[in-house]
Amino acid sequence: MARGMLKHSNFTKAEQRLILENYFRYDLRGIGGEKFLAIARKKVREHKADLLWFDALQNYLGGNVRDGEKLQAIAPVVSQAEEEAQAAEASAEKS
């Protein structure tokens, strides 16, 4: 993933090399709560990380975010969020 993003970036080759040397990815799908936090704390200390990125959607789905069945499961939530956003926008326009 990191290599693909860097290929299309404006970073110099030296900057890209530095990023790749300091990029670590851990698949923690299915792990939550205190166990997840313990692992995250350990990895932050281990790598002296300045940034910790959580892929919340992937963790919530428990798998590949491109899996059609899993995406169908959250479709109602996405639709509701869109409806609420439209309603809030319409309300704001009336004000």
What pTM was estimated for this model as a whole? 0.48
Q: Answer yes or no: is pLDDT of 37 > 80.
A: yes
What are the boundaries of each domain within the chain? 55-95
Q: What is the mean pLDDT of residues 77-86?
A: 81
Quickly list H helices, the chain: 2-7, 13-21, 33-47, 56-61, 68-94
Whole-number Å distance between alpha carbons of 79 and 71 = 12
| pLDDT tens digits, one per residue of 45-68 | 998 887 777 766 666 666 666 667
Q: What is the mean pLDDT of residues 69-77?
A: 71
Look-up: residue for tokens 């926008």?
89
